[in-house]
Structure 1
């Protein structure tokens, strides 16, 4: 079968920069980016051009942060999408590579996030399942001290981004991807549970499975939560390439989510 021609618009680094500026991204900003390359259109240079455009728009004083999560580094007994046969569990537990911030690729975060993770000078947080990577002068402060028993709470990069007046940029993604809403879950009464996993490096270069006690976090309802935030005027909306883009402060999203989740979750 013939290969269909690409669909537009044609997106270049220059058009990305113009669209990001029109949306309100400013030099010196600290951004938390959730992104979809395919939503942008036909991007000349792919994810590299997107990261270049973002860093150019932010300038030397700005910092770009992306989620670089690795949810597969977990106990296979918990896997549901898809599950694996129970007879595989012991083999997976015995052989799962330990999380290494320098080499472990992100999972399901998109090629733009993975490109930013590998960018020269990028730093990555230590959490073996919910890490973030950052490029720019605030990268060390944002990624430092990510506790193993605090996936997306007060000892995670999300709280550091909130302190630095960062903004969220949803670039072709839904509110369901907005990790900032999870920080609000840590600030309302939430059940805690003890789980096995992930596999972590030991000081001698080996590996072990770590048991942690964490709250139950869930993205259920985040699209409805985001729509409510948008209706109440907390979101700037525009277009970057062909993608719907949304820009809003981390702190506003967290504060709004605290109230919304308290009313809508039992």
Structure 2
């Protein structure tokens, strides 16, 4: 069966119909496979998003880094079954984080990396959970991302909350809803853990350890289902290209998660 090819103008129209407004601040999670064939590919999707936001709007994407950490599930999966020598070789070959050059992890999709590489993009400084942004508020939103605060009050997520940003899912779901993580920081006395990653330091490549809130997205699917059907911040849904898409206020998602998590996790 022939699948249609969408133009930038069609996607911009779909985004406007969904509720993306000029001048807004928008964080996007996207599966371009779900969007379907687009004339111009990922760059055209970025153009459509910026077109819907207008010149006064700001586009934000997570551009997280997983490949430079030995405390991540991705690392544990990579070294599972390896001997000591092979594991040491993997660790020795892990690249240090470079905010100017380190790509977004492949699991985040091609849109995130396309935004990061777009001229004029700003990137936050965290070696594991950075964000990238395009637009007049990009520098303000990306500034001050403390290296020992993944997704809390000293991260772009809190700045997006303050900016009354919206979240857009293009063919993705609540199981990877980054906004919910800010709710994890805002519960009373959240559990903490140690993280490690490779960074560039004045003396060269080095391992760095730090303590932060123990992030857990294993129940985000259930959290998102309850949020979507709560009536308090009902997401708008509709097609963007071929992708079933959702649009909602980030503040609604964070506030709901902050109340939902203590009632559903054994804190």
SS in 1 for 2:76: coil
Q: Which runs of 5+ in 2 are unaligned?
A: none
Corresponding residue of 2:49: 54
Q: Give runs of aligned pairs for residues 99-248 of structure 1, distance below 5 A.
A: 99-107=97-105, 108-188=107-187, 189-195=189-195, 197-203=196-202, 206-233=204-231, 234=233, 235-248=235-248
Tell me the CA shift for residue 11 of structure 1. 1.2
Equivalent of residue 79 in structure 2, options 83, 103, 112: 83
SS in 2 for 1:149: coil
Measured against aligned partners, the alpha-carbon deviations of 1:131-166 in whole angstroms (never above 9, x if no partner) come to 100001111111111112111111111001101110
- RMSD between aligned alpha carbons? 1.6
Measured against aligned partners, the alpha-carbon deviations of 1:157-207 in whole angstroms (never above 9, x if no partner) come to 100110111000011001112100001001113221223x21112146x22
Distance 1:237 1:176 in 2: 17
Tell me the CA shift for residue 76 of structure 1. 6.7
Distance 1:130 1:153 in 2: 11
Distance 1:86 1:64 in 2: 44
Tell me the CA shift for residue 86 of structure 1. 4.1
Corresponding residue of 1:15: 10
Q: Out of 226-235 and 54-63, give the one that drifted further.
A: 226-235
Corresponding residue of 1:38: 33
Tell me the CA shift for residue 97 of structure 1. 1.8
Measured against aligned partners, the alpha-carbon deviations of 1:13-36 in whole angstroms (never above 9, x if no partner) come to 011000000000011010000000
Say yes or no: does 1:260 pair with 2:266: no
Distance 1:232 1:73 in 2: 38
Measured against aligned partners, the alpha-carbon deviations of 1:206-239 in whole angstroms (never above 9, x if no partner) come to 2211110112111111111111111123211111
Equivalent of residue 64 in structure 2, options 60, 66, 69: 69
Distance 1:131 1:38 in 2: 24
Distance 1:13 1:265 in 2: 43
Distance 2:194 2:11 in 1: 44
Structure 1 residues 24 and 124 mapped into 2: Cα distance closer, same or farther (>3 Å)? same
Corresponding residue of 2:23: 28
SS in 2 for 1:247: strand
Q: TM-score scaled by structure 2?
A: 0.92
Structure 1 contact 70–130 (Cα < 8 Å) conserved: yes
- Give aligned pairs, total: 259
Structure 2 contact 70–76 (Cα < 8 Å) conserved: no
Distance 1:31 1:76 in 2: 30
